[in-house]
Structure 1
Amino acid sequence: MYPSHSPAGRLTALGTQLIEIHHWLREELVRLRASLDAPDGGGDGLSRELRAHCVGFCAALQRHHTGEDAGAFQVLAEQAPELRPVLAALSEDHRAVASILTRVEELVAGPAAGPAVRAELDGLAALMESHFSYEERKLVAALDALTGGTAGELLGLDVPDGDPTFEERI
């Protein structure tokens, strides 16, 4: 993937950056779920590394959604009022995702067993896929029309450059 931003500002359309962020989050969730299937990943307890990856992923996803609610969604609501019902539905999804993330964080903070974490992550994956697909269908064109602002400011996360590791992104 080619870098889509620079320190000087946004070089590609914000809608494209949203898709790139979603793609990265999807990949990270796939990696996290796969690590539960590793021999030392999902048995009676979770490894310290897996717990850290899980907490980091939850924080990144929450930061993205919080950033959208406070950034891009506010701007879009002002500039494209016809999108307000879509934005409200997406914000409701954000609250549902936040509930799942809270449960995941509680599980990994305790003596979590892999199957309980796996069940939550499987539900999260289904919700994320539906949410991301809907958001991309409904908002990419409107986001592309926005000027100013960076992905970090409007979407809560910066666009991944190349193939960063998870730890480099959080």
Structure 2
Amino acid sequence: MATHDRAVALSAQLAQAHDALRHQLRDLRAGLRRDLPSHCLAFCAAVTAHHQGEDAGMFAELLRQRPDLSGTVAKLVEDHGMIAWILSRVAELASSPAVDTAAVSGELDGLAAILESHFAFEERAISTALDGGTPDTGWSAMVFRFRDRMS
């Protein structure tokens, strides 16, 4: 596969990864009362792994190839920090001895809105750069490895 074709495939994989996380969050919100702690922890681990892979792999490579994206990448990394804080709050609430499902539901609603905005922005800003031929130097395995945790 040509380098450009591989980059386009990576752009599509990024959108598919986000769709998988959206789906897992919808399932979590729909089944809020069933085995909440383990489902929340699995979802939190999946989002965290995805974002760590982006920060350490994909974004680092994008900045090497496209330093003009530094402002965009900084915004996305800032979003990752905010999302990590919300995920820790969800995990804390979901694993408390007396789970307050209304509080968990409220946090998940906020998380869903933030993730949707974040994913849409990232797909617009980063997919264009990926489609421009950013080489995969091994970072894609880091970005997409979270899917192993979603079984």
Q: TM-score band (shorter)? A: 0.7 to 0.9
Greater share of helix residues, 1 or 2?
Answer: 2
Residue 20 of structure 2: aligned partner: 24
May I ask how many residue pairs the two structures share in their alignment?
Answer: 143
Residue 42 of structure 2: aligned partner: 56
Offset at 1:159?
6.2
Partners of 1:130 and 1:26 in 2: how far apart? 12
Offset at 1:157?
2.7
Aligned: 1:121 with 2:108? yes
* 1:94-113 deviation digits (Å, cap 9, x = unpaired): 00000000101111121221
Partners of 1:67 and 1:156 in 2: how far apart? 8
Residue 140 of structure 2: aligned partner: 151
Partners of 1:108 and 1:34 in 2: how far apart? 15
Aligned: 1:133 with 2:120? yes
Aligned: 1:91 with 2:77? yes
Offset at 1:158?
5.9
TM-score by length of 1: 0.77
Partners of 2:115 and 2:69 in 1: how far apart? 20
- Match 2:99 to one of 112, 123, 126: 112
TM-score by length of 2: 0.87
> What RMSD over aligned residues (CA atoms) do the two structures have, in Å?
2.0
Partners of 1:18 and 1:127 in 2: how far apart? 17
Offset at 1:11?
9.0
Change (3 A) 1:12 1:159: farther
Change (3 A) 1:14 1:146: same
Tell me which amino acid in the other structure corresponds to 2:31.
S
Name structure 2 gaps, 5 residues minimum.
1-5
Tell me which amino acid in the other structure corresponds to 2:113.
A
Offset at 1:167?
4.3
Contact 2:46 2:150 in 1 (8 A): no
Contact 1:20 1:159 in 2 (8 A): no
Change (3 A) 1:108 1:159: closer
Partners of 1:31 and 1:70 in 2: how far apart? 28
